[in-house]
Amino acid sequence: MYFKRGSCEIDVSPAVGKFYVQFNNIMAVLSTGKQNNELAAVHLMKSYCLSSLLCACEMWSLNNISAHNVNVALNNSFRKIFNCCWRESPEIFFCRTLSVTYIVDQRRILFYKKS
């Protein structure tokens, strides 16, 4: 976790960058095959990339811009998997994936419930 200078806000840009690197590696491996397997890409992205993006998210205090940047990263990954343009809404609902802000809130609640 990196903090922004002069505040207690979390800098999510390194985590977003790591997410994109991992996601692009997964897509490069999956694109070498002749068939597109969107469900495998979604499963791998949610298992590996999303977990590294949300590492220690229970302690985040996100402002609107940071939350937007994290949501954009997730939406861009779904757009790339399903070959959608930026105007189209990816099939996040049908892949049983919540918005990142909801996932962070859910993890925070579970974290406080354990302690």
How far is it, in rounded angstroms, from Cα 47 to Cα 43? 6
SS3 state of residue 3: strand
Q: Whole-prediction pTM value?
A: 0.82
pLDDT tens for the chain, 115 residues long, are 676 677 767 788 889 999 999 999 999 998 876 677 888 899 999 999 998 888 888 877 778 888 888 988 998 998 898 888 766 655 566 677 888 888 888 988 999 898 7
Where are any strands of DSSP class E within 1-115?
Answer: 2-3, 10-11
Spacing of C-alpha 41 from chain mean position? 13
pLDDT at residue 49, rounded to an integer: 93
Domain boundaries, the chain: 9-114
Q: What is Dmax (Cα atoms) for the chain?
A: 50
Q: What distance in Å separates the CA atoms of residue 19 and residue 48, rounded to the nearest whole number?
A: 9
Gyration radius (Cα) of the chain, Å: 15
* Residue at 44: amino acid letter: L
| Environment class of 46 (CB within 10 Å of its CB; exposed 0-12, middle 13-18, buried 19+) | middle
Q: What is the pLDDT of residue 109?
A: 92
Q: What is the DSSP letter of 11?
A: E
